[in-house]
Amino acid sequence: MAEIAIIGAGMAGLSALHVLAAAGHQITLFDKSRGSGGRMATKKVGDASWDMGAQFMRAHSPEFAGQLQTWQQRGWIARWQAEPHEWRQGQLRPTGDNIERFVGMPRMTGLSRQLLSSAHPFIDSTRIISAANQADGWHLRSDDERDFGPFAGLIINTPPQQAAPLLASSPGLQQQCEQVDMLPCWTLLLTLPQRLNLPDMVFVKEGPLGFIARNNSKPGRDAGEAWVIQAGHDWSRQHADSPREQVQQQLLEAFTDLSGADLRVAANLWLHRWLYAIPAKALTLGALTDLQHNLAVCGDWCHSPSLEGAWLSGRRAATSLLTTLN
């Protein structure tokens, strides 16, 4: 049994945790946030709550399809039955796809809570600022000057910009991180006193918006009318540094144009800027490894831009590490 550290409790880190734990290793998981899940986040404002990052999961690979089935049987996820629509040239139409979309229960972070394992410590609210490979293994330091280790192996599951500073001992991997461009996404959350006359899920193909969803149409959510309004990635990049009030106003105007709603009655407004929402182009390597140092790096940006990509990447990182640890 080896002691292994995982930095980042997103989908990739959690999937790596399961592979390593199943092989009998002892894991310590770190995250800078208060909870797990990373971009599979939930936001609460007053009594209202929304899935603020990833909206749903779907499978392209048989491995992830099998995993979704298992989670569904355990009640950790459920089908989101909304009929997808698209908004193009001022027209709203069903996309006609019959893709199975799943959501965490009773919110996206619900799945990440289930994937944490009580047998392995989760050290949250702890930002790791350096990782040093010494003769006895990996030593980690947090921004509040705590030291952790030694660990026989290390997995880093953070966006590439946050992984690069932790890769001082592997300059080759550091360079690969620096090549990955992550796209931003402005996201506006709000509640309304009445139901809007709009489909539950709309992929928007023009203007500032990219995707909108009625959060309360997902299974297990509160009944109140709650909307997630995501800007498109190109628009988000163009407005990445615009004043928040201006961004909010433009997103509200675009949503009004599309829905015809009177948004003066909107409440619980919350605007969030995801600086590293998804990779513009993922590396497709699965995971980055430096097995001489028992080190692997994972995340959607190493595989493909989705929760499925993150899950597959975490598995790849962990199975690679197992070849040198066993």
Ligand X SMILES: Cc1cc2nc3c(=O)[nH]c(=O)nc-3n(C[C@H](O)[C@H](O)[C@H](O)COP(=O)(O)OP(=O)(O)OC[C@H]3O[C@@H](n4cnc5c(N)ncnc54)[C@H](O)[C@@H]3O)c2cc1C
State the residues that interact with ligand X by CB under 6 A. 7-13, 30-33, 38-40, 53-57, 127-128, 157-159, 162, 185, 187, 230, 274, 277-278, 299-300, 305-307, 309-310
Closest contact distance (angstroms) between CB of 152 and ligand X is 19
Closest contact distance (angstroms) between CB of 253 and ligand X is 20
| Closer Cβ to ligand X, 95 or 260, answer by number | 95
| CB burial string 177-186: b at 16+ within 10 A, e below | beebebbbbb
- CA 301 to chain CA mean position, Å: 11
Closest contact distance (angstroms) between CB of 245 and ligand X is 20
Q: Which residues pair with 168 in a beta bridge?
A: none
| Closer Cβ to ligand X, 159 or 197, answer by number | 159
Tokens 């497709």 sit at which residue? 284
Token code pair at residue 136: 């006895």
| Closer Cβ to ligand X, 25 or 233, answer by number | 233
List helix spans (H) across 179-243. Answer: 233-238
Closest contact distance (angstroms) between CB of 237 and ligand X is 13
Closest contact distance (angstroms) between CB of 109 and ligand X is 11
The three-state (H, E, C) secondary structure of 280-314, written as one string? CCCCCCCCEEEHHHCEEECCHHHCCCCHHHHHHHH
Task: List the Cα angle 64/13/112 in 5-degree steps.
Answer: 70
Task: List the Cα angle 96/98/100 in 5-degree steps.
Answer: 145
| Closer Cβ to ligand X, 259 or 304, answer by number | 304
| Closer Cβ to ligand X, 30 or 76, answer by number | 30
| DSSP code for 118 | T
